[in-house]
Amino acid sequence: MARLSMHDRLPYDEATTPPRVSTGDLPDPADVQRVVTEAFHLYQANADGVVADYIPALAAASPDLFGISVVGARGRSFEIGDVDTPFSIQSVSKPFVFALVCEAEGYDSARQHLGVNSTGFPFNSLMAVELNDARTMNPLVNAGAIATTSLVPGTTAEEKFEHVRDGLSRFAGRELSMSEDVYASEAGSNMRNHGIAHLLNSYGRLYFDPDAATDVYTRQCSLEVTVHDLAAMGATLANGGVNPESGDRVIAASVCRRVLAVMATAGLYELSGDWLYEIGVPGKSGVSGGIVTVAPGKGGLATFSPPLDPAGNSVRGQLVTKYLAERIGLNLFASEARPTLS
Ligand code: GLU
């Protein structure tokens, strides 16, 4: 008998037999807004963490910037603080570009090209490439992310970047554009990322010219978003791939849940396990201070606050997300015992 593995397809077509889901709804809208406001005031005075400065343009961000946005799966939003301030998306782009690649080439093939397990190493680790035979471990750390970008449809760097820009704009529900300042600053200081790309190329695990792939990746990281955009992007992943504000289907539901699985295992750098243990929801953070969190079926939550912990995760963002996950019921692992039958 042929050996079966968890990677095999189910014995029916997921597209025509959609899976049942295990999720509920957000609480009453007035309660969500109240708890979002509470979280903002509770953590506004927190002064822990350091603004990233390894990309010179990021060092200029004010540590006081702070915004929270929740976009529900029905398209309602609940927000407070600096919700209109643009910032570069940085690593928060990674799951969304992975989603576009899965959509284009299929999630099985994307897993084979990129991997979906966590590395346990910092986001820009070369050691993780050397120590793992598959070289790329997942699409959310730099090695896997640059490889993901190299797989984006398009025969030129321009076409690939336009595919990314257009796809991320559809996730956000508005046209996104790049910050020229952040791009110039990062392009002048990202030799390590070029090194990672060349190393992957030497192992046959990069799928486009290494310098061109790194350049598209750098432009992708320089796309500007607001915290509302990130929440809408998260809400699209929470809503089976359809942006609840625009009604646009960006990716298939079957892709959506694979993207969330990777965010759950690898979204918060080397603290991803701690995040899942404490907060219990897929998330992705970036060094400019954004975190997007997705509560499947319920909505997307985004926070923006530049000061970071040593792993690169926004300090206030983690505190707010933990508070909201408990108060509005986002933790995927939470259950309560039912009354026992007597
Ligand atoms: N563009 C940044 C880099 O590759 C992204 C880092 C991040 O947000 O984790 O260094």
Distance 24 CA to ligand 1 centre (A): 34
Helix (H, G, I), strand (E, B) or coil at 312: coil
Query: From ligand 1's centre to the CA of 123, what distance in Å?
Result: 8
DSSP, residue by residue, 274-295: HHHHHT-S-EEE-TTSEEEEEE
**Domain at 29-327: CATH code:** 3.40.710.10
* pTM recorded for the entire structure: 0.94
Q: What is the pLDDT of residue 283?
A: 97
Handedness of CA 203, 207, 213, 219 (dihedral sign): negative
| Residue 149 Cβ < 6 Å to ligand 1 | no
The strand ranges marked E within the chain are: 67-72, 77-81, 87-88, 224-225, 283-285, 290-295, 299-304
φ, ψ of residue 62 to 5 degrees: the values are -70, 130
Residue identifier of the C-alpha nearest atom 2 of ligand 1:
90
Whether ligand 1 lies within 6 angstroms of the CB of 287 is answered as yes
CA 285 to chain centre: 7
| Whole-number pLDDT of residue 2 | 67
Ligand 1 geometric centre to CA of 312 (Å): 9
Encoding tokens for residue 341? 């039958």
DSSP notation for 207-247: -S-HHHHHHHHHHHHTBEE-HHHHHHHHHHHHTTTB-TTT-
Tokens of 299: 């909505």
* Six token digits for residue 34: 């109240």
CB 70 within 8 A of CB 300: yes
Kindly give, in sequence order, each residue whose CB lies less than 8 Å from that of residue 31, ignoring residues fewer than 6 positions away: 328
Closest ligand 1 atom to 90 CA? 8
User: From ligand 1's centre to the CA of 244, what distance in Å?
Assistant: 28
Res 1: pLDDT: 58
| Residue in the structure block whose two tokens are 């000061």 | 307
300 forms beta bridges with 71, 294
Which residue out of 89, 90, 96, 314 has the highest number of ligand 1 atoms within 8 Å of its CB and is therefore the one to mutate? 90
- CA 313, CA 179: separation in Å to the nearest integer? 21
* Residue to mutate, 221, 269, 284, ligand 1, most ligand atoms under 8 Å from C-beta: 221
Query: Is residue 90 within 6 Å of ligand 1 at its C-beta?
Result: yes
Pocket test for ligand 1, best of 51, 142, 179, 285 (most atoms within 8 A of CB): 142
SS3 letters across the chain: CCCCCCCCCCCCCCCCCCCCCCCCCCCCHHHHHHHHHHHHHHHCCCCCCECCCCCHHHHHCCCCCCEEEEEECCCCEEEEECCCCCEECHHHHHHHHHHHHHHHHCHHHHHHHHCCCCCCCCCCCCHHHHHCCCCCCCCCCHHHHHHHHHCCCCCCHHHHHHHHHHHHHHHHCCCCCECHHHHHHHHCCCHHHHHHHHHHHHCCCCCCCHHHHHHHHHHHHCEEECHHHHHHHHHHHHCCCECCCCCCECCCHHHHHHHHHHHHHHCCHHHHHHHHHHCCCCEEECCCCEEEEEECCCEEEEEECCCECCCCCEHHHHHHHHHHHHHCCCCCCCCCCCCCCC
Q: Is 289 in the pocket of ligand 1 (CB under 6 A)?
A: no
Residue among 51, 54, 55, 215 to mutate when testing ligand 1 (max atoms within 8 A of CB): 55
Tens of each residue's pLDDT in the chain, 342 residues = 567 788 788 888 877 887 777 788 899 999 999 999 999 999 999 999 999 998 899 999 999 999 999 999 999 999 999 999 999 999 999 999 999 999 999 999 999 998 887 766 777 777 777 777 767 678 888 999 999 999 999 999 999 999 999 999 999 999 999 999 999 999 999 999 999 999 999 999 999 999 999 999 999 999 999 999 999 999 999 999 999 999 999 999 999 999 999 999 989 888 888 999 999 999 999 999 999 999 999 999 999 999 999 988 999 999 999 999 999 999 999 988 888 876
- 12 Cα: distance to centroid of ligand 1 (angstroms): 39
